Amino acid sequence: MNALSSIIAGKKNMGSSHFNSTNPANREDILGTFANATLDECREACLAARKGFEQWKKTPAPIRAGIIANFGKLIEKNKEAISQVLTREMGKPIKEARGDVQEAIDTCYFFISEGRRLYGQTVPSEMENKELYTYRRPIGVFACITAGNFPFAVPSWYFIPALVCGNTCVWKPSEDTPRLSLIFAELLYAAGVPKDVFHVVFGSGSETGANLVSLVNEGLIDKVGFTGSTEVGRKIGEICGRNLQTPCLELGGKNPLVVMPDANLDLAVNGIIWSGFGTAGQRCTSLGNLIVHKSIKEPLIKKIMDKVASIHIGNPSEENIFCGPMMSERFLKKHLENLDSLIKPHHRLITSKNGQITDQNKPERFSGNAQLGFYAHPSIVDNVNENDAIYSTETFGPLFNILSFSDLDEAIYLSNKTGYGLSSAIYTENIESSYKFRSEISAGMTSINNSTTGAEAHLPFGGNGKSGNGSRQSGIWVVDQFTKWQAVNWDVSGKLQLAQMDTSYINPSDYVVKI
């Protein structure tokens, strides 16, 4: 029995620990009950993946890519149904949910051709009758832990290239979106991925996730992928580092958005609101620090507040909703803790309603069930400076700060000093400012006159500093995460030839130019 089936069957085992998948817009709506995988079940999944690897790596890459083509077609065929489950389970507005699913489709179609482009090279030898080649080889068993905020797109970033490259996979999805993760796996199997090639272990990050990563120490895992907090990423990095492995870490952010005095303020406001409050601020690329030139700060704030007042918050299945609930009660509680502990007396909380949305404290444009959902007001904190904890703390919720600056050098300094380096943005009509910002910003991704959020399936995604270890997802660059290089030295001379020793070097003559 494959690991996925064994864990699902475990729901009937009264000795196992279980958790529910709950609709964050309606806590009375339960999408399913799932069993927490034990260490033994994680080990069983890895051993099965190791066994499956022996055949999968021999399957021609174009055939593996053909299975991914099937996967893309199945997602496309079921896009609306998947999107509805995503919205119901995670709380993302339906328009965003459709985008999440579409990104998985786009990723499939991008990597179909990569199955025919896992290129190596032929390299000239310094010897006669000798051939040199390089090949990309699959790494082996890939274990991955993903977050719930992009529950269909981000797993596709990992698993589609990993499978095309010939690796087998063990996945611990977010405990916030297990139903959707099950659909993801079922579609892969329906597309033709063998059951021993892809395995899912459900459970919490602190238990099942930790159990899974610990198996690196037993030699059962060859590569780890993780999307989540910097704190957990460091722990995974330590385990992998001790085993001479390099994980793929996509971690947190405190993303800056700079507004120059020559910016189109209406355009900037749209980007600010989307960056700060889209997905209820629950993106690693969400706006953290709005860094505004002093000369335009007050007019920009007025435009921002007018825009905030127009936001529709509520039931994410409704088409006109901009912001739905937070993913779960624990994320809402953490957001409330941040409002309580990070905001100091010298700060100015410019949003009039903050914290949890209740029946007694609802925004004007609200259509959800405040009593049953995990909703939060958008919050904006002004008068923040670089010495404040809130300046450098990832808050992962509908909350961002405002800082002011005098010149671009100061804005870049404030953008970089947090130590994070995931995403960034600048709004300006000045080419020199754009060039300087994109050259000196430390973030792995930057936008000019666009928001801090938004990724396309063929562009590298990832961060630097506290936001990651330099690994990248998406596009052709991700192939480097899931393959290892093999150099082949093929001597057909019939004799031992030693490079640098038996090489016939040609020396220059003693010719001297006469003037």
Q: Splitting the chain (515 residues) into consecutive groups of 10 residues, what average pLDDT does each group show?
A: 39 62 97 96 98 98 98 98 98 98 97 93 94 97 98 97 98 98 98 97 96 98 97 97 97 97 98 98 97 98 97 96 97 98 97 96 93 98 98 97 98 98 98 98 97 89 94 91 96 93 88 88
Q: Assess contact for 357 and 363: CB atoms under 8 A.
A: yes
Q: What is the b/e burial string over 426-448, where b = at least 16 CB atoms within 10 angstroms of the residue's CB?
A: bbbeeeebbebbeeebbbbbbbe
Residue 207 neighbours by CB under 8 Å, 6+ apart:
36
Q: Catalytic pick from 41, 103, 114, 250?
A: 250
What gap in Å lies between CA 290 and CA 125, rounded to an integer?
55
Beta bridge partners of 382: 348
Asked if residues 401 and 391 have their Cβ atoms less than 8 Å apart, the reply is yes
Q: What are phi and psi for residue 372, nearest 5 degrees?
A: -105, -10
The verdict on whether 144 is a catalytic residue reads no
Give the other-Cβ count within 10 Å of 54's Cβ.
10
Q: 348-349 and 483-491: which strand pairing?
A: unpaired
Q: Measure the CA–CA gap between 445 and 454, rounded to whole angstroms.
A: 10
> How many beta carbons lie within 10 A of that of residue 95, not counting itself?
16
Backbone angles phi, psi at 178, to 5 degrees: -70, -35
Q: Which pairs with CB-CB distance under 8 Å and at least 24 residues apart come from 442-450?
A: 442/415, 442/416, 443/255, 443/256, 443/415, 443/467, 444/468, 444/472, 445/285, 447/423, 449/263, 449/264, 449/267, 449/271, 450/271, 450/425
Backbone angles phi, psi at 114, to 5 degrees: -65, -20
For residue 2, count CB atoms less than 10 angstroms from its CB and return exposed for 0-12, middle for 13-18, buried for 19 or more.
Answer: buried
* Model confidence, pTM: 0.94
Token pair of 236, please? 């995974």
- CA count, 13 A, side-chain hemisphere, 272: 31
> Containing H/E element for 287?
strand 287-293
For residues 251 and 463, the answer to whether their CB atoms sit within 8 Å is yes
Q: Tokens for 285?
A: 């690329």
Cα 455 from Cα 330, distance rounded (Å): 27
Half-sphere exposure of 463 (CA within 13 A, CB side): 30
Q: How far apart are CA 403 and CA 394, in angstroms?
A: 16
Other beta carbons within 10 Å of 119: 10
Measured between alpha carbons, how far is 380 from 54 in angstroms, rounded to an integer?
53
In the 8-state DSSP scheme, what is residue 119? -
Sequential DSSP letters for 317-380: TSTT-SB---SSHHHHHHHHHHHHHT--TT-EE--SS-SB-BTTB--SSB-S-TTTS--B--EE
Q: Which of 46, 169, 284, 323 is catalytic?
A: 284
Catalytic site residue 284? yes
* Side-chain half-sphere CA neighbours of 252 within 13 A: 19
CB-CB contact of 208 with 202 (8 Å) = yes
Q: Note whether 189 and 198 are within 8 A (CB).
A: yes
At a CB cut-off of 8 Å and minimum separation 6, what does 380 contact?
Answer: 276, 304, 308, 349, 350, 351, 399, 400, 401, 402
Phi and psi at residue 117, to the nearest 5°: -130, 30
Alpha carbon 308 to its chain's center: 27
Alpha helices by DSSP H, listed for 203-328, are 210-214, 230-242, 265-277, 297-309
Q: What is the C-alpha to C-alpha distance for residues 337 and 397, in angstroms, rounded to an integer? A: 11
Nearest Cα residue to 322 out of 285, 356, 367: 367
Give the closest residue to 173 by CA, choosing from 199, 141, 193, 194. Answer: 199
pLDDT at 16: 57
For residue 241, what are the contacts with CB-CB under 8 A and spacing of at least 6?
Answer: none
